[in-house]
Amino acid sequence: MQLPRTTPVFVFVGQKGGVGKTVTATNMAAAIAQETPTRPLRNVLVIDVDPQGNTERALGAEEGGEGSTVLTIADLLLAYRDGFSAEIPDYPLARTAVPGVTLAAGGNALDEIDDELGAAGRATVREWMKGVIELLAPQYDAIVIDTPAAIDALTMGGILSADLVICVAKPEDSFVTDALDKVDSYLLDLADQGQAPPMVMVANEAIPSRTQYKLVNEIITADEFPSLRAGTDAIGAITGKPSPWIAQIPATVHLRNGARNGEPLVIGRRSGTEAGRKLKEMAETAMTIATTRTEVAR
Ligand SMILES: Nc1ncnc2c1ncn2[C@@H]1O[C@H](COP(=O)(O)OP(=O)(O)OP(=O)(O)O)[C@@H](O)[C@H]1O
Ligand SMILES: [Mg+2]
């Protein structure tokens, strides 16, 4: 009998552009991978399903493309379509400048998948994504998926495989409702089929003050967005305070610089700053939620 997968899969979503999905996803991947006094380096795979390809820069990844042997997530999806499942775990993916982190980049090749959407349909593309993740999972200690500002077929495929959905938004009413717009209804559809992962929110670029923290908790509750119920309870089980918010990350130039220079804040010289600490805490909490979930599944 095949045991259920134990590699935690995290997917970062948010219907709004430029809110910090890529920055938080790449920092979380780096923080999960990072060696600490109590644990060795972990292997983390970042999958980028955004054609913009911002993760390459943020992680200082080796370049794919022409003349390179490095494959992208689009290559893996097409190989899956063509029945090369057995080979997919051996395909070369991009090394990055971040210890322990490997990248299945997005990039322009994803347009080819878009072309396929017409022929194969969204549901099929969703299944390819799920299939590829299951094939890659055994080689990694965690998988982090970065998505574009849209709940497209690949994002849905990521959500289908995820143990935790992390929705990134600025801590303002309109940003939060916009961010949750489509993902909430997709998760409720999945819940009807008994396969919805829990979802939590990240407040990014927030002012690090107590007033603001209160505000964040006032912005949204699981009563308004039922898709946040399981995540709210999971955070409550860890912290004693049920909340849909897994972290509040302050605005800081160090985060931006890190993303530009291919050195995520959490592993750089400024890792001890508030944003760095918050991101590391978020990684720990996310790992705890996901691991609890996969253990229950077993
Ligand atoms: N807390 C923060 N402090 C300072 N700069 C930030 C913070 N969060 C994100 N940024 C910066 O804001 C810009 C947008 O962030 P990012 O690329 O992560 O957003 P995104 O949601 O992935 O955008 P897209 O929808 O285009 O993929 C980047 O330049 C990033 O460095
Ligand atoms: Mg992005």
Span 5-18, pLDDT tens digits: 789 999 999 988 88
**Which residue type occupies 227?**
S
Residue 12, strand partner residues: 146, 166
pTM above 0.85, yes or no: yes
**Shortest-distance Cα residue to atom 8 of ligand 1:** 20
224 Cβ partners below 8 Å, 6+ apart?
Answer: none
Q: Which two tokens stand for residue 173?
A: 């009413």
296 Cβ partners below 8 Å, 6+ apart?
Answer: none
User: Ligand 2 centre from 39 Cα, in Å?
Assistant: 29
Q: Which atom of ligand 1 is nearest to the CA of 253?
A: 4
CATH 3.40.50.300 assigned to domain 9-297? The reply is: yes
Residue 208, strand partner residues: none
Span 224-261, pLDDT tens digits: 899 999 999 999 999 999 999 999 999 999 999 999 99
Structural contact between residues 49 and 130, judged by C-beta atoms closer than 8 angstroms: no
Q: What is the CA radius of gyration of the chain?
A: 18
Spell out the SS3 assignment of 228-289.
HHHHHHHHHHHHCCCCCEEEEEECCHHHHHHHHHCCCHHHCCCCCCHHHHHHHHHHHHHHHH
Predicted pLDDT at 176: 86
Q: Which two tokens stand for residue 34?
A: 């990072």
Q: Which atom of ligand 1 is nearest to the CA of 147?
A: 27
SS3 37: coil
Residue 294: its H or E element: helix 274-297
Q: DSSP class of residue 3?
A: P
Q: Which atom of ligand 1 is nearest to the CA of 251?
A: 3
User: Ligand 2 centre from 156 Cα, in Å?
Assistant: 16
Domain range list for the chain: 9-297
Span 28-44, pLDDT tens digits: 999 999 999 999 999 99
User: Ligand 2 centre from 22 Cα, in Å?
Assistant: 4
Q: What residues line ligand 1, using a CB cutoff of 6 Å?
A: 14, 17-23, 50, 52, 54, 148-149, 204-205, 249, 251-252, 255-256, 259
